[in-house]
Structure 1
Amino acid sequence: MRRLNKLGRIDRSQPIAFTFDGKTMTGFRGDSLASAMLANDVTIVGRSFKYHRPRGIYSAGPEEPNALVTIGTGGRREPNLPATTVELADGLVAESQNRWPSLKFDVQSINSWFSPFLAAGFYYKTFMGPTRRSWMFYEHFIRKAAGLGRAGQEPDPDRYEVRHLFADVAVVGAGPAGLAAALAAAEAGAKVVLVEQDFLAGGYLLSEPSAGQAGAWLAGMLARLADMPNVSLMTRTIAFGAYDGNVLGLLERHNSSSVDPRQGEARQTLGLLRAKSIVYCTGSIERPLTFANNDRPGIMLASAARTYLNRYGVLAGKRVLVAADNDSAYSAAIDLAAAGAQVTIADSRAQPGPQLLEQARRGGIAVRATSMIAKAIGGHNVRAVVLIEPRGKTTLECDLIGVSGGWSPTVHLTSHLGIKPVYREDIRAFVPGKLGAGQFVAGAVTGSFTTEAAVDDGHRAGNEAFAFCDAARSSQAQVKFDLPKINAKLGVIGDDGNSGLRPKPPLSPAFSTQTNEGVGGKMNLAKGKAFVDLQMDVTVSDIALAHQEGYQSVEHLKRYTTLGMGTDQGKTSNFYALSAMAGLRGMAIPDVGTTTFRPPFTPVAVGALAGLSHGHHYKPFRRTPMHDWHVSNDAEMLETGLWMRPWFYHASSRDVNEAYVAEMRNVREAAGLMDISTLGKIAVQGPDAAEFLDRVYVNGFAKLPVGRARYGVMLRDDGIVFDDGTTTRVGDQHFFMTTSTARAADVMSRLEFLLDTAWPDLRVSVSSVSDEWAAMSVAGPKSRDILAAAFPDLDVSNDALPHMGLLEGRYRDRPLRIIRLSFSGERAYEIYAGASVGKEAWCRLIDAGTPFGLKPYGIEALGALRVEKGHVAGPEIDGRTTLDDLGLRRMAGKSSGFVGEVLGRRQAFSDPERPRLVGLRCVEDGRRLRGGAILFRPNEPVQGHGLGRITSTTYSPTLDAWVGLGLLATSAAQEGAEFIAHYPLKGEAVRARVVSPTFLDPKGDWFHG
C-alpha cells in the first residue's frame, strides 16, 4: 500500500469501496479513481493503442494519456475516461481497456515485436491489395486490434440536461489567478460564474501541502467567494469550447454518489454560458521528457507525483528519480523526500541555481547536474534508469521516475475562435495571441509561473473584465490590488508580512537539451522506443519518418502519424512534436507553427450533447386530436415525419404483418375508419384564387364548380412532380387544399414563395389551417350507411353527395365538411370537423359504425390499400419522377401556363429507357416482393442498377398474391413480361410479372357506387 497516514485533502473517516477489473478496492472521499488505484498499488492501468505496451498513471489531470478506463455497467458504460478526472464514488465500477485476456498478459503485446512494420502510415502502405475493396476486409481486424474502450449496447437509463447560463464575467479556472479574478470582478459588482473542471477549487494550490499557508489562503478565498451572492462556483465543470459571442460550452458532471436517477436527477448537464466578458485562467501543463522506454509504468510527470502526495496522501514511489530541465521539479523532489522517499534529481542543466541546491541538500536529495536519462529499465514497472553524464553512463535503481520538461500554457480555449498562439522565446512556449473584445487572460496561461504573479494578474484581469461590462461603474469599483491587505483580511499572514505562498518556480530559459538531441537520429542515447505521444504510440522515429517522406507540415504530420489525435488531443505531446519537426527542418519553432485547436477541449459524452433530445424528444412531434383514443385502444403508434400515427391496432393482431391484412380485408368487405388529420390543409382565398391554382397545378381549377373537389398534381420548376392532393371549391373565391402529410410544410412554403416573387400581382392569400381541422376517412362498401347513421340530419345519398362532391354542415356548433373521395379504392368519405370536437366526432362514427362492422385501421393497411388501387404516393413521388413516369400526363389538359410545364417537356424526359410506373405481381408461390428490389431480365447478369426498381409492395388478400408498384424502363414495360426482382440486402431473387398498376376495380365502379 502506498497510502500515507497523513497528508492530503482526503477524508479518511469516509472510506469508499470500488472495483477495478473485478477486484474490490478501497479509497476515501476526496480521492480520484487514479489516486485510489495508485494507493492500492495498481501500477498497470491499461495497454497502449497500437503496440499494447503496459502503461501506468502518468499525470493527475485531463492531460492523462494512459489511464483510460471504462466506468459503469450496462447502459451506463462510459468508455475512455481518464482515471485522473473521475471522482471516486461508492460502488464505482471501473475496468481497463484495450487488453485481452488481462492487463498483465495481453496477447496483442506481440505487436511490439513487429514494430518495424507498424511505423507511421503503415496502414496506408500495407493494406492496399490485392483488390480495391480489400480495405473493407482488413478494417474489421485493424479496429479490433487497435482501439479504445467499448461503449455499452443497452439504452442509457440516465438523464442528461441542457442549461442556459448568463454572467457579466465568466472565469475559467479556479486556481489562484481565477480566484483573484472572480473576487475582483465580484467586488466591483459583476455577476460572476467561476468554472472549474476539478471537483475541488484551487488549481495547483491543491498540490501544495494542505497544512501550509497555501491551504489556509485557499480556504479563506473560497469562504469569501461563497459569501458573495453574485458569485457562482461551478466545480466538476469543464469549459470544453469557446464560441462566437463570448459563449462557452460547459459540461457539468454531477457526483455519481449523490445522483439518484429514480428522482429524475441528471448525470451530466450541458451548459451554454453567455457572458459579457471572459477571463481565461486555464493554467499550464507540464511537459514530459523523451528517452528510451519512457512509457513504462512508474514514470509520471513530476507535478503529478507531487499532487498524489500532497492532495491524496499517496506516495507514488520510495526510490525516486526526478529528471528535469527546469526549477519547478525541485518542489516535487523536496516534498517527496520530506514524505520519506529516497530522491535523486537528474538535472540536465550544468549549473542549477544555488538556492535550489541548498534546499535539496537540506532535504537529503542528491542532485546530479548535466545528467540526462538515456533509458528506463523495467517491464510492468520501472526498476532502474540509465543516465548519461559527462563521466559516462550510470545505472540507478528506482521505482518511480518523475519527469519535467518545462510547462506549456493551456492555450486551447483561447484558440478555439481561430486566434493563433504566439511563441515566447524566454519561456520556450506558446501563449495566447491577441484575444477578441471582452476576453482576457491571467496566470500561468500567460507565461507567469509564480503564485504572486498569478494572483496579481488575476486581479488585474478581473477588473478589466468588469470594465468591459460596465465602463460607467468600473472607474469607481477598481482599487489597486494589495496582496498583503487581502491576505490579512483572510487571516493568512506570512512571517514576512506577505502571503507566505510558495511560488511556483519560473522556468529556466534554457530549453531541455535532452529533447533537442536525439531527434531525427542526431544522437542515439539508447536503444528502445522513445514515445512522443503516449496515447497514440507515436515515437521519435515516427516523426523522423514523416519528415523523410515529405509530411513536414504540422497538420500533415498530425494526420500521417496520428499524433495528437487521441482523446487527450496531444496535451503533453504537441510541443515536443513541433520542436522535433523544427529541428529536422532547420527552422525556428514559431516558423513551424501549431496545429489547429478545436472544441472539445476534453471529450464530451454524446448523451450530454443530446440532453433530453432523444426518443420522442429528439425532435418535435405532433399528435392528432384523436391521439389519446388511439393509445387507449391499443394502437401501435409510429412516428411519421413530425406526426404520431396509428401503425396498426393490436385488436387485429399483435403482429403488423397479420394486422394490416386483417384491416385491409375489413375495409374491402365492410368499412374502416382512418385518422387523416395529418394531411396538410391550406385555405386559398381571394379574387384570383382560381387563377393561382390554375398556375400551381398541372390541371385546371378555374372552372371547378363550387361544392366539387378535384385531384391535382404540382410540379417543381424543373418539371419533376412535387406533390399531389385534392382541392375543393368551398366558395367562388375560397378553396380548401389538402396535401400529403410529408409535404405539407413544403407546399405551404412554395405557395407563399410564388405569391411573393413570381406573381405578386395576384390577389390571393394562403393560410395553413391544418391545426383547425380534425380529419377522418370512412372507407368501404358500408361507409354511406355508417355516415347516415352518424349524422342523420345530413343527406349523404349518391345524388346529394356524389363522388368528388362536398357537403357542409355543423357539428357541436363547429363547421363540418364531408368530401366524398377515396385513396383506398373503395367508396370513401373524408370528414373534417373542428379540432376541438374531433375526438367526439371520431367516437360518434365508431359507435354508429360498429353494427356495420366498422373498425379503425392504421397507415400500414392504408398504404397497402392504395397499392392495390395503383395510387402513387411518397415512394413514387420521390423527387425524381415526372408526369409521364407516373402515367399522369393526361391530367395536364392545359397547353401551357403552369409551373414546370416548359422544363417538364425536356427531351431527356422522353427517353425510351426512362422508367415509368408499372404494376408487378409475384409469380412464385410462397415468395414475396420487397420494396427497393432491382429489376433484371431473366438470364441476364444481376449487376448494376438493372432496368428499374420496385417502389411499394403489399400482400393483397383479395388477389391472394404479393403485388407492387415499380418504375421500369419504358422499352421493357410490356404487360406480361417477366423480370427477376433482386433484393441485395437479403440476397433474394423472385420472379415478377408486369401487370397494370391498377390491380382492383380498374373502371372505378367502387368509387361511384
Structure 2
Amino acid sequence: MSAPYRIAGKGRLTPARAVRFTFDGKHYAGLEGDTLASALLANGVHLVGRSFKYHRPRGFLSAGAEEPNALVGVHRDAARKTPNVRATVQELYDGLEAVSQNRWPSLALDVGAINDLASPLFSAGFYYKTFMWPKAAWKRFYEPNIRAAAGLGVAPDQADPDHYAARYAHCDVLIVGGGVAGLTAALAAAETGARIMLVDEQAEPAGALRYESGTRIDGQDGWDWAQAAVQTLRGMDNVHLLTRTTAFGYYTQNMVALSERVTEHLAEPQQDLPRERLWQVRAKRVILATGAIERHMVFANNDRPGIMLASAGRSYLNHHGVAVGRRVGIYTANDSAYHAAVDLKQAGVDVPAIVDLRDNPQGPGVDAARALGIPIHAGRAVVGVAGRQRVTAMNVQAKGGGAVNPIPVDALLTSAGWTPSVHLFSQSRGKVAYDDAGKRFLPGVGAQDCVSIGACNGTDDLDDLLSEAIKAGREAAKAAGIATGRAGPKLKATSSESWSGGMIGAGPGADADSKGKAFVDFQNDVTAKDIRQAVREGMQSIEHVKRFTTNGMATDQGKTSNLHGLAIAAEMLGKAVPAVGLTTFRAPYTPVTFGALANYSRGDQFDPTRRTAIHPWAEAKGAVFEDVGQWKRARYFPRAGEDMFAAVNRECRTVREAAGLFDASTLGKIEVVGPDAASFMELLYTNPWQKLEPGRCRYGIMLREDGFIYDDGVVGRLAPDRSHVTTTTGGAARVLNHMEDYLQTEFPHLKVYLTSVSEQWAVIAVQGPKSREIIAPLVEGIDLSDAAMPHMSVREGKICGVPTRLFRMSFTGERGFEVNVPADYGQAVWEALWAEAEKHGACAYGTEAMHVLRAEKGYIIVGQDTDGTATASDVGLDWAVGKKKADFVGKRGMARPDLVAAGRKQLVGLRSPDGKTVLEEGAHLVADPNQKVPMTMIGHVTSSYWSENCGHPIALAMVVDGHNRMGEKLFVPMPNGTIEVEVTGTVFFDETGERLHG
C-alpha cells in the first residue's frame, strides 16, 4: 500500500518499518515514528474533522500540541475509546483505529453543515440573547438540545480497564522543554552535579530542530546534536529525562504537575505498565524552555483543509518525509515561512508563489527563495481561497485592493509570526510584558524561583540563546545550593534560520463585510467579525470579549488565537494592545485525561478506607456497615429475620432497658498540652476552662470567626497542663488544622503543643442503666461510684490490665462510660466487655441506633442539625457560651446584628399528631399549606426517626423564630401529602435527665 505524498530520501523514519492503521474504517499504511497526522498526510488525507459550531470541513493546522482542528477518537477496543485525541501528537502504532468526530452521517457529507448556512443566526453572543425567552423553553427545548449538541467526541460508555500511576519527586532543577535551550541548560546544570529533571512532550527531544534544516551546533547538524545531548544526559546518574511528558500546571512553591504518556504509543495494552503517570515535582529552581507557537494568518476561509502553519509543513517534510501537497503556496508576514518554501522546493515540491504581506522582505530566507526561482509577491495578501473540502487555489490581491489573482494550490502554508509560550510562566503568577517591536508578550516579573529562556523568552538569535541557556542552567544549580565549579560548556552555533517579522490581528480579506469567514479561533469557530461585534456591543476587557465570543476558551487554550483576538479588539477600541489586557492562562496547558488525574484514586482506592480495631469483631457478628468520612462504621447488627427497622428498634430499646456497647473509636481526639493549654482552650472554645478541675469534663463548642458553630465535643482535663479533646468523626482533621492555624498565626506566644491521637485510642461506649455493672469487674484502680466518679468526669487507671482513660459521659442520655484504651488492645477489651454485657442482657448497637438515642435527648450533630449558618443560640446552647469571657474565636462574630436579630432559624422539636408518620429529613416546613406556589418556607427538618422508646416519630428542625413557636401547628409537604406537625422542645425522652445520673 503506497503513500503518495511520502518523499523518498526525506525525513528520519525508516521505510522498512511499516505500520498499518485505519481512519474512519479505511485502511492506510504509515511508518514507525509517524504521528497519525503525518501518516494521513502521507496518504493525501487532509479532511479529518468538522468544526464545533458550523460543522465546516477541517484539516490539520499544526504538527504539535497547539492543534485545534484534528481531534479524533482513538479506539483500541470496546472499553478503550478515547475521544478528542490530537492527531498531531498521537503516535502511530500497528493496528491503530481512529475515527473522525462531530459529523453525521459521514465526514464528507455532514448534515450539520447546515449550521454554516445559518451562521447569521449564530453570531457572537447569540446564546446569551436567544435562550432567555420564553422562560418555559429552557427546560423543554433549549437545554435538551444544547446538551445533545455539546462536545465533539463521544465519551466512553464502559469502565476503563487500564490502570494509572502517580509519583512525587524532588529535584534541584526542573527544566521544561527539550529544545536547544532546554537541552543546553540541562547539560550546563547537570555538569555541576545538581539533581536535574528534564521533561519534553515529544518522544524524541529536539524542539524546533525537528524541522529546521539550516542549524548546526558544535559542528553537528542540529538534530544530530540534540540526539547526542539526549544520550549524554541519559548516561548521567543525576539526570532524570522524561519524554512523552507534558508539564501542564505550575503551582505554588515551585510545584509542577506533569502528565507522562507511558503506553499510548504501544500497539497492545501493557498490564504491567500504567497507561499514564501523573508526576508532582517540587523543584528548588524551574527553568522554562517552552519555545514559541506559530500563528496563522487571518483571512477569508482560512480554515479550509490543506491550510496549515509553515512550521507544520516543514516538520512533516523534514522529520516525517511527507509533503503536505504537490503544489504548495506560502502566505506570510514572517521570515520563517521562507525556509519552509525553500525546503519544499529543494524536495521537489512545486511552490508557485510566496505571498508576503510586508512591502520589502529581507533576509537569508528571502535570498534563498529567490535563488531557487520561487516567485515572491511582496506587499500583497491572500484574501480568500477556493475549494471546500480541500483548498484548490489562493486568491491574491494587493494590500490596497484591486484585481484578485487566483493561484492554483493544493496546500497553503501560513505564518503570522511566533507567540512565546508563556502559559506556565503565567500559571506561576508571573507577570508578562508586551514587546511592541516583536508583537508579543514576554515573561516579565516572576513570582517564583523560575527563569524563562530561549524562544519563550523572546531570544531569537541562536548564539544568544545558547549563552542564555548555559547561564540559566548554572545559576539555577547555584541557587539550589550546588557549587558550580569551573566555567561550564562552550557551544558555538551557526544558523541560516530567521524568525523576524510578524503581525497580529486580521489581515486583508478579513473585513466584517467579507463573504468568507476569517477564523481567529478554529476550535470554537470564532471569526474576526465576532471579535468586532463583541466590542461594538460594549465588551472592552479582553476577558469579556473572550467570554462573549468564546475565543481562546477551547481545549487548545487559544495558543494560536489569543493574540489575534486581542489585536482585533484593540484596533476596534482604538487602544494599544497591552491596554486591553491579556487573558488568563490556566492549568492544564493541554488537556489531561481523568485517568491521569485520578491515577490510583479509583474503585476501592478512591478514598482511604479506615477501620477501627473493633471492626473485625463487628464484621464477624454480621454488622451492616456505612461510610462515615473515611471510616467504616457498624450501622446496625441485624439478627435472624430482622430488617434495619426492626434491628434498630431492638437496639434502642435494649440500651434504655439494659445497656449497649458502641464502637466510638472514630471520634477525633486531640491532646492539648503545655503550661498555656487552658488559656489556649479559653480562646478556641466558647466555654470557660481555667477553673475546670483536673478529672472533670465539659462539653465544648468551637466557633468560626463569623460566630457560626464549627465543631463540638467533650473535653476532659487530665491535668492542669493537659486536656483530651474529642471532636466529631468528620471534623478531626479540620479541627486540628483550625487549632494549629490559630496557634501559629494568632496566639504564637502561648506554650502549647497539639497532637492528634485519634488512631492511638480505641473507644468503647458502654451506655445504659447497667453500664456500671458491665465495666466494674474489669476496671482496676478507679472508684466507679456516683460520688467518686460523677457524670462528666474522667479517670485514668486500667481495664483488663491495660491503661485506660475512662470517661463518664453519655450521648444517649443514659448512665454511660467511654472506655479509651490503646488501639492495639481495642478488640481484646471489647470482647471482655462483651462477655460481661451478655450477662446483663445488653446488645451491641450501631450508628443508626446512636442517632435515634441522641435525638430522643435533643443532642445535636454538627453538620446535620447545623448547616454552617447556625449559632449557639440558634440551637439552644447559650448555656455553653461563657458570658464573662473576655475573648474567644467568634465572640465578635456572634454579636453581629444579623446574628442576634429576631426571625432567625432556631432548633426545635417536631411531633406528628398522628403518631405514625416519620418525616423526610430535609423536608421544608410552611405555616400555611394553602398559600400560593411558590410557598414561603420557614424551616426544614434536620433529623427524623421512629422512636421505639417514645412510641412515636420524633424530629428536629430549624424553624424561623422556632423558640417562640412552642405548641404551634406547622405543615410539612411530603411526597404522599402534607403532614401537620406540632412544634415542641427538643427533648423527647427523660426530660428531667434523671437517667443520666443513674
**TM, length-normalised to structure 1:** 0.82
Question: What is the aligned partner in structure 2 of residue 167 from structure 1?
Answer: 172
CA distance in 1, matches of 2:746, 2:291: 60
Q: 1:406 aligns with which of 395, 413, 417?
A: 417
- Aligned counterpart in structure 2 of residue 204 of structure 1, from 196, 204, 208: 208
Paired residue secondary structure (2:534): helix
For the residues of structure 1 that align with 2:736 and 2:224, how far apart are their CA atoms? 67
- 1:994 Cα offset (Å): 3.6
SS at match of 2:920: coil
The verdict on how the C-alpha distance between 1:842 and 1:66 changes in structure 2, with shifts beyond 3 A counting, is same
State which of 949, 952, 955 in structure 1 corresponds to 2:943. Answer: 952
Change (3 A) 1:74 1:678: farther
What is the 5 A alignment of 1:14-33? Answer: 14-16=17-19, 20=23, 27-33=30-36
1:293-332 alignment runs, 5 A limit: 293-332=301-340
> Quick one: structure 1 residues 766 and 110, their matched pair in 2 at CA, closer, same or farther if it must change by over 3 Å?
closer
CA 816–422 in structure 1, closer or farther in 2 if over 3 Å, else same:
closer
Q: 1:489 is matched with which residue?
A: none
- Give the deviation of 1:312 after TM superposition: 2.4
Alignment of 1:207-226 (within 5 A): 207-208=211-212, 213-226=221-234
State whether residues 209 and 311 of structure 1, in contact with CA within 8 Å, keep that contact through their aligned partners in structure 2: no
Task: Confirm or deny: 8 A CA contact 1:240 1:601 kept in the other structure.
Answer: yes
Indicate the SS of the match to 1:421.
strand
The offset of 1:952, in angstroms, is 0.5
Q: Find out whether 1:929 has 2:932 as its counterpart.
A: no
Q: For each residue in 1:749-769, what CA deviation from the matched residue of structure 2 results, as whole angstroms up to 9, or x when unmatched?
A: 888999999999999999766
In structure 2, which of residues 158, 163, 168 is the aligned counterpart of residue 158 of structure 1? 163
* Contact kept? 1:377, 1:383, Cα under 8 Å: yes
Find out whether 1:569 has 2:574 as its counterpart. no
Q: 1:918 to 1:75 in 2, by over 3 A?
A: farther
Deviates more, 1:920-929 or 1:281-290: 920-929
CA contact (8 A) 2:430 2:445 kept: no
Aligned Cα root-mean-square deviation (Å): 4.9
Residue of structure 1 in register with 2:6 after alignment: 4
Name the counterpart of 1:624.
Answer: 612
Q: Determine the C-alpha separation between the residues in 2 that align with 1:245 and 1:901.
A: 35
Q: Aligned pair 1:281/2:293, yes or no? A: no
Aligned match of 2:385: 376
Per-residue Cα deviation, 1:374-401 (whole angstroms, up to 9, x for no partner): 2222233333333336983333443322
The alpha carbon displacement at 1:365 in A equals 5.4
Question: Matched residues in 2 for 1:663 and 1:162: separation?
Answer: 47
Q: 1:568 to 1:796 in 2, by over 3 A?
A: same
1:472-492 CA-to-partner distances (Å, cap 9, x unmatched) read: 745x32465445xxxxxxxxx
Aligned to 2:116: 112
Partner of 1:838: 826
SS at match of 1:477: coil
2:431 match: 419
Q: Which moved more, 1:442-451 or 1:531-540?
A: 442-451
How many Å separate the matches in 2 of 1:772 and 1:600? 41
- How far, CA to CA, are the matches of 2:588 and 2:644 in structure 1? 44
CA distance in 1, matches of 2:816, 2:82: 54
**Partners of 1:938 and 1:978 within 8 A in 2:** no
Query: Distance between the aligned counterparts of 1:298 and 1:304, measured in 2?
Result: 11
In the superposition, relative to structure 1, how do residues 413 and 726 fare at CA in structure 2: closer, same or farther (>3 Å)? closer
Structure 1 residues 163-202: aligned runs within 5 Å: 163-168=168-173, 170-187=174-191, 190-202=194-206
User: What whole-Å deviation, never above 9, does each CA across 1:956-1003 have from its counterpart, x for those lacking one?
Assistant: 3455654311233457866664422136xx797433344553334445
Q: 1:810 aligns with which of 798, 804, 810?
A: 798
Residues in 2 aligned to 1:820 and 1:405: alpha-carbon distance in whole angstroms:
79
| Alpha-carbon distance, 1:131 to partner | 4.8
1:435-584 alignment, distance < 5 Å = 441-445=452-456, 447=458, 455=466, 458-459=469-470, 462=473, 473=484, 476-478=486-488, 480-483=490-493, 503-507=496-500, 509=501, 515-518=506-509, 520-521=511-512, 527-584=515-572
Residues 407 and 345 of structure 1: CA distance in aligned 2, closer, same or farther (over 3 Å): farther
Structure 1 Cα separation of the partners of residues 496 and 234 of structure 2: 25
Question: Which moved further from structure 2: 723-732 or 34-43?
Answer: 723-732
Per-residue CA distance 1:294-349 (angstroms, 9 max, x = gap): 11222211221222233223333233333334443233334444555443223235
Distance verdict in 2 for CA 1:135–1:210, change over 3 Å: farther
Q: Deviations over 1:508-553 (max 9, x none)?
A: x4759x95434555xx6x5211111112211121222233334344
CA shift, 1:372, in A, is 3.1
Instruction: Name whichever of 355-364 and 537-546 sits farther off.
Output: 355-364
Q: Percent identity?
A: 40
Q: What are the equivalent positions in structure 2 for 1:71-86 lying under 5 Å apart?
A: 71=74, 79-86=83-90
- Aligned residue-pair number: 981
Change (3 A) 1:661 1:79: farther
Whether the 8 Å CA contact 2:62–2:309 is kept in 1: the answer is yes
Residue deviations 1:191-249, cap 9 Å, x none? 54333221111122222579994444444343344344444332212233455666544
Query: 1:979–1:503: structure 2 CA closer, same or farther, 3 Å change rule?
Result: same
Measure the CA separation in 1 of the matches of 2:686 and 2:763. 26
Change (3 A) 1:76 1:975: farther
Question: 2:778·2:799 contact (CA, 8 Å) conserved in 1?
Answer: no
User: More displaced, 197-206 or 20-29?
Assistant: 20-29
Structure 2 gaps of 5+ residues are none
Question: What SS does the aligned partner of 1:392 have?
Answer: coil
Do structure 1's residue 55 and structure 2's residue 86 form an aligned pair?
Answer: no
Cα pair 1:240 1:251 within 8 Å, conserved: yes
Please say if 1:393 is aligned against 2:404: yes
Whole-angstrom CA distance in 2 between matches of 1:5 and 1:167:
45
Cα distance, 1:683 vs structure 2: 6.6
Q: How does 1:700-711 map to 2 (within 5 A)?
A: none
Cα distance change of structure 1 residues 973 and 201 upon mapping to structure 2, 3 Å threshold: same
Q: Does 1:128 align with 2:132?
A: yes
Once the two structures are TM-superposed, the CA of residue 355 in structure 1 deviates from its matched residue by: 7.4
Q: Deviations over 1:566-595 (max 9, x none)?
A: 222222223333443444455665665644
Partners of 1:201 and 1:473 lie apart in 2 by 25
**Distance in 2, Cα, partners of 1:114 & 1:775:** 70
Counterpart-to-counterpart distance in 1, 2:443 and 2:721 = 67
Pairwise CA distance, 1:934: 1.5
Partners of 2:900 and 2:440 lie apart in 1 by: 68
Alignment gaps of 5+ in structure 1? 484-498
Structure 1 stretch 29-38 or stretch 448-457: which is displaced more? 448-457
Q: Name the CA distance, whole Å, in 1 between partners of 2:148 and 2:133.
A: 20
Residue 685 to residue 584, structure 1, CA distance change in 2 (3 Å)? closer
Q: Deviations over 1:79-99 (max 9, x none)?
A: 544221223345655544444
Amino acid across the alignment from 2:986 = P
Secondary structure of the equivalent of 1:999? coil
Aligned equivalent of 1:64: 67
After superposition, the Cα gap between the structure-2 partners of 1:920 and 1:133, relative to the gap in structure 1 and judged at 3 Å, is farther
Cα–Cα, structure 1 residues 226 and 873, in superposed 2: closer, same or farther, change >3 Å?
closer
CA distance in 2, matches of 1:227, 1:419: 37
TM-score (norm 2): 0.83
Q: Return the alpha-carbon distance in structure 2 between the equivalents of residues 804 and 531 of structure 1.
A: 74
- Aligned partners of 1:971 and 1:245: how far apart in 2? 49
> Of 939, 955, 958, which residue of structure 2 is paired with 1:964?
955
Q: Measured at CA, do residues 67 and 948 of structure 1 come closer, stay the same or move farther in structure 2, by a change above 3 Å?
A: same
The residue matched to 1:85 in structure 2 has which SS? coil
Query: Structure 1 stretch 617-626 or stretch 573-582: which is displaced more?
Result: 617-626
The yes-or-no answer on 1:677 pairing with 2:665 is: yes
SS of alignment partner, residue 908 of structure 2: strand
